[in-house]
Amino acid sequence: MPESERQLPLPIFDDGGSQIAPQASEPVMQSNAEPVGTQPALWPEFQPAAHEDARPGAHPETGGGEGNGAGREDEAAWTAVHEEKPRSLTDLQRECLTCGKCDLRAGCTQVVFGEGNPRAKLMFVGEGPGQQEDIQGRPFVGAAGQLLDRILAAVGIRRDEVYITNIVKCRPPRNRLPTSEEAEACLPHLFTQIRAIKPKIIVCLGALATQTLIDKRARITRVRGNWFRKNGIMYMPTFHPAALLRDETKKRPVWEDMKQVKEALDKLDAT
């Protein structure tokens, strides 16, 4: 039996009876992985993969700065947030709920700040609230959220031990993708959340989260499943659960990605 099958339970992506048998033959990291210059002791086993689309010009492990592909506005927003006095998650949520910094607020029912363990080591970031999230005021409670719950359960991660939020906190009209302007306007809210929670691992669910948090030019189909490190946080890009609902062939790669996340989480818990 492959090693990964011994370590983790079989997946139970049991929507309509379809299941994914894990195939551990694929390598955990891509073959084009590059050594990391200054690897923290906590992460000696990670060799983040190099990819020209995700990392134009330089090494993302440098954690920001010239050539890591991140937008200057995003870097500035990250820096600005970290120059502010730290605030509690409760205060941040209160501020966010009254935000009207972009036009999305006018078209949604309520702001969906995020929820979960305020000290979570693992954080999930999606795109934006959908209809059910807008109604209930909670992230990932619709069909895609229910699938995310099953994915978490399949790899042995409890939803109440993680923190879940989105790039934008207000529902875009007709569930369209947020624009780059809307994402940029909302980014300070996400950065203050990250600063307050201090996750060790962030899973980027889908292209928007990947491009916003890792690199604007990243293609999710090519970078998913690879670790990136930036500002002291390990990032794992993978497909958004909504994409799995549309395309079942994406379930297996997500299963492989989430096994990596679970293994990393276990190592963190063991330290």
Residues 72-101 vs ligand SF4: string with x where CB under 6 A?
------------------------x--xxx
**Which of residues 170 and 213 has its CB atom nearest to ligand SF4 in the complex?**
170
Among 51, 169, 230, 250, the residue binding ligand SF4 under the rule CB under 6 A is: 169
| 49 three-class SS | strand
Find the Cα–Cα–Cα–Cα dihedral 115, 188, 57, 30, rounded to 10°: 0
* Helices vs strands, H then E, count in the chain: 11, 6
**Which of residues 169 and 259 has its CB atom nearest to ligand SF4 in the complex?**
169
| 28 three-class SS | coil
Q: Does 183 bind ligand SF4 (CB under 6 A)?
A: no
Q: Does 234 bind ligand SF4 (CB under 6 A)?
A: no
Q: Does 102 bind ligand SF4 (CB under 6 A)?
A: yes
Q: Does 167 bind ligand SF4 (CB under 6 A)?
A: no
**Which of residues 102 and 162 has its CB atom nearest to ligand SF4 in the complex?**
102
Find the Cα–Cα–Cα–Cα dihedral 186, 54, 235, 240, rounded to 10°: 70
Residues 167 and 125: beta-carbon distance below 8 Å: yes
Among 125, 155, 168, 234, the residue binding ligand SF4 under the rule CB under 6 A is: 168
Q: How far is residue 109 from each of residues 49, 104, 242, measured CA to CA in Å?
A: 41, 10, 21
Provide the minimum distance between the beta carbon of 167 and ligand SF4 in the complex, in angstroms, as a whole number: 9
Please count the other Cβ atoms lying within 10 Å of the Cβ belonging to residue 218. Answer: 26
Provide the minimum distance between the beta carbon of 99 and ligand SF4 in the complex, in angstroms, as a whole number: 3
Q: Does 214 bind ligand SF4 (CB under 6 A)?
A: no
**Which of residues 81 and 104 has its CB atom nearest to ligand SF4 in the complex?**
104
Order the strands of the 115-116 sheet from edge to edge.
Answer: 115-116, 163-166, 122-126, 201-205, 233-238, 228-230
Q: Does 125 bind ligand SF4 (CB under 6 A)?
A: no
Q: Does 112 bind ligand SF4 (CB under 6 A)?
A: no
The two three-digit tokens of residue 162, written as one number: 């993680």
- Kindly list the residues in this chain that would bind ligand SF4 in the complex (CB under 6 A): 96, 99-102, 104-105, 111, 168-170, 182, 185-186, 189
